[in-house]
Amino acid sequence: MNFILDAVIVLGSIALIAAVVLFVVSRKFAVAEDPRLEQVQEMLPGANCGGCGFPGCSGLASALVQGADSGSIDGLNCPVGGSATMGRVAEFLGMSMAASKPMVAVVRCNGSCDNRPRVAQYDGLKTCTAMHMAGAGETACGYGCLGCGDCVAACAFDAIHINADTLLPEVMDDRCTSCGACVKACPRNIIELRVKGPRNRRVYVSCVNKDKGAVARKACQVACIGCGKCEKACAFDAISIAANLSYIDYDKCRLCTKCVDACPTSAIVKVNFPVRKPQAPKVAEATEANVATKMTGGASVDNVDVKKKEVNA
C-alpha cells in the first residue's frame, strides 16, 4: 500500500508543478486578441470556401483587421458576401473600399456530344483528374471538358450541374458566388471567373483549344481556329490571339457582339442577349416607287411635276 500511496503523491506533485508552470507560461506569453477580429468574422458569411484566398473566413477576418491597421484593405474581398458584405466590414473598420464588379463562373467549352464526337471509351476512375492524367479523354480534343463532374463536387452552393444531353457543366448564375472552387477543381482550366456584365450579359470565347485551326476543327465543330476575324471586327481592342486561341478581355469588351457575327465556327458565344428580330424587306417603298414610275410613263416624279407646272403656265 505504501508503494501505491507514494506513486499517487509523486504523480500528483508532478501534475501540480506542471499545472503551475503552464499557468505561468500562458500568462507570460499570452497574446491579446483584437476584439474586432471576432466581430468581423461574424459579418462574413461563414462559407469557408477559400474563394478569398485565405483558409476560411477567420483568415480573411484577420487579414482585414491587419489591413485596417496598416491603412488599406484593397485587394481583400469576399466573393460569397459580395459588395454588400465588404461594405459593412469596411464601414465597421473605418475604411473606404471600391465597389467590386460581380463575377460568375463561365465554362469555356461548347464541345457537346453533337459538336465533339467520341472516339474512345474511358474505363477507369470517373473523375476529371484521373481521366486527364490517363490521356486526352474520350474525344480527340485534349483541351475540352471531360464531363466527370469534379467541378460539381467542388461547388458548395449547388450552382453547377452536368447537362444530361450535352454532358457539359452548366452554371446557375443566381446561385454562383464566384468562390472559385470549380475553377481550382478543373484539371484543364476550362472554367473561368468573368464579370457578370450589365443585365447579366456576357460575350466570351467558349473554347480553350490551342491546336492549329485544322486540327482543332477536326476534333470539334465549334472550336476556335485562331483565324483573327473576331480581332479585326472588334473596334475596342478587346480581343487578342495567342497560341491559336482568341481571348476576350471583359474589361475592354463593350458587348457590341460584332465578334460573335464574325466568328466562322460559332466559338464565340453571347449570353442573356435578346433574340434579334428578323428585318422585314422594304417592299412597301419599292412598290410605291414602281407605281409612281408606271403612272408617269417611266419618267421621274420630279420631271412630271415640272411638266405640269409648264402646262399650267
Q: Which residues are annotated as a binding site?
A: 49, 52, 57, 78, 141, 145, 148, 151, 155, 176, 179, 182, 186
The CA distance from 89 to 67, in Å, is 12
Burial of 241 (0-12, 13-18, 19+ CB in 10 A): middle
CATH number of the domain located at residue range(s) 35-93 in this protein: 1.10.15
The answer to whether 35-93 and 103-271 have equal CATH topology is no
Residue whose C-alpha is closest to residue 163's, from 178, 177, 151: 151
Q: 95-142 pLDDT, tens per residue?
A: 887 777 889 999 999 999 999 999 999 999 999 999 999 988 899 999
Residue that is written with C-alpha cell 452554371 in the block: 171
Q: Which residues are annotated as a binding site for [4Fe-4S] cluster?
A: 49, 52, 57, 78, 141, 145, 148, 151, 155, 176, 179, 182, 186
Other C-beta atoms closer than 10 Å to the C-beta of 61 total: 24
pLDDT of residue 210: 96
* Low-confidence winner among 19-23, 32-36, 163-167, 249-253 (lowest mean pLDDT): 32-36
Cell of 116: 465533339
Domain edges within the chain: 35-93, 103-271
The CA distance from 229 to 260, in Å, is 10
Instruction: Tell me the average pLDDT across 18-29.
Output: 89
pLDDT of residue 307: 44
Q: What is the mean pLDDT of the chain?
A: 87
Q: Does domain 103-271 have CATH number 3.30.70.20?
A: yes
pLDDT of residue 293: 52
Q: Which band of pLDDT confidence, cut at 50, 70 and 90, is reported for residue 263?
A: very high
Instruction: Tell me the average pLDDT across 170-192.
Output: 94
The CA distance from 206 to 150, in Å, is 19
Residue 286 above 70 pLDDT?
Answer: no
First-to-final CA distance of the chain: 149
Residue whose C-alpha is closest to residue 104's, from 153, 160, 147, 154: 160
Q: Which band of pLDDT confidence, cut at 50, 70 and 90, is reported for residue 222?
A: very high
**E-strand stretches of the chain:** 103-107, 160-162, 169-171, 191-195, 202-205, 239-242, 245-248, 268-271
pLDDT of residue 301: 43
